[in-house]
Amino acid sequence: MMDSDSAIPSGKDFGKFQFGCQHYKRRCKIRAPCCNLIFPCRHCHNDAANSLSDPKERHDLVRQSVQQVICSICQTEQEVAQLCSNCGVSMGEYFCNICKFFDDDISKEQFHCDDCGICRVGGRDKFFHCNNCGACYSTSLRDKHSCIENSTKNSCPVCYEYLFDSVKVGHVMSCGHTMHMDCFEQMINEQQYRCPICSKSMVDMSSAWQTIDHEISATEMPLDYKFEVAILCNDCNKRSNTMFHILGHKCGDCGSYNTRRISIPQDPVCETE
């Protein structure tokens, strides 16, 4: 509703969900202190800055460094605050003064994690911060995941986007390594079941191992190929010997077929002249 006397919107909810960009619905823009230019959000800045032809000019905006915002309703530039100092409109239903973050869509259940130092989505009561991994994980993973120090402060092993502050949903695998959920699902759809980092199985493969058991028992190798090979299991990291078979080599410790040959005892030893 507009005030007829001043032509300034009244009510802090004026214009909610009507402004923003593809990343966030918000009623302000930010002035990037690194280049003094105005952008709808830090992601818009980073997309533009990192597409520059000169690699030396490419850079990311440090969210905490933002000092000035521009109200999308009255265009007043001002210091960072939730309410516009001129028209009183709320520039974001969710506001974090630490991250200088505004968002009208509170259905994301945003919250600021002091340990991560940034805002997360999904609801504070649904996540916990793992001090060993240095990241927030779903409460369903509490005491049920393998800790890897600073596991999310790396790039996704599939798309190479930095994981720690990515807006995409992350997925923690049983080995402790992390990738984007959509990258994980893409790998599964393409029947790639090994972690790209450590080669451990990403999902329960017990039924697949049973299938290989049946296939091997029904496929006898010729006499010339009946010899032992030494293998290393990617899942349990144990070494063992097993009979060579073209369909796979089963770990003698955990029963996994996610193994690799490390030697062939029958290979001749090369003599040094």
Quick one: average pLDDT of 244-258? 95
117 and 130, same domain (yes or no):
yes
pLDDT tens per residue, range 84-126: 999 999 999 999 999 999 999 999 999 999 999 999 999 999 9
Tell the residue number behind the tokens 């597409």, with chain if given.
Answer: 51
pLDDT given at position 11: 84
State the pLDDT confidence band at 10, using cuts at 50, 70 and 90.
low
- Among the candidates 108, 127, 161, a domain finishes at 108
pLDDT tens per residue, range 222-240: 999 999 999 999 999 999 9
State the pLDDT confidence band at 257, using cuts at 50, 70 and 90.
very high
The residue segments making up the domain with residue 244 are: 206-263
Tell me whether residue 272 is in a domain. Answer: no
CATH classification of the domain holding 253: 2.20.28.10
Quick one: average pLDDT of 166-176? 87
118 and 101, same domain (yes or no):
no
Q: Is the pTM of this model over 0.85?
A: no
pLDDT given at position 166: 84
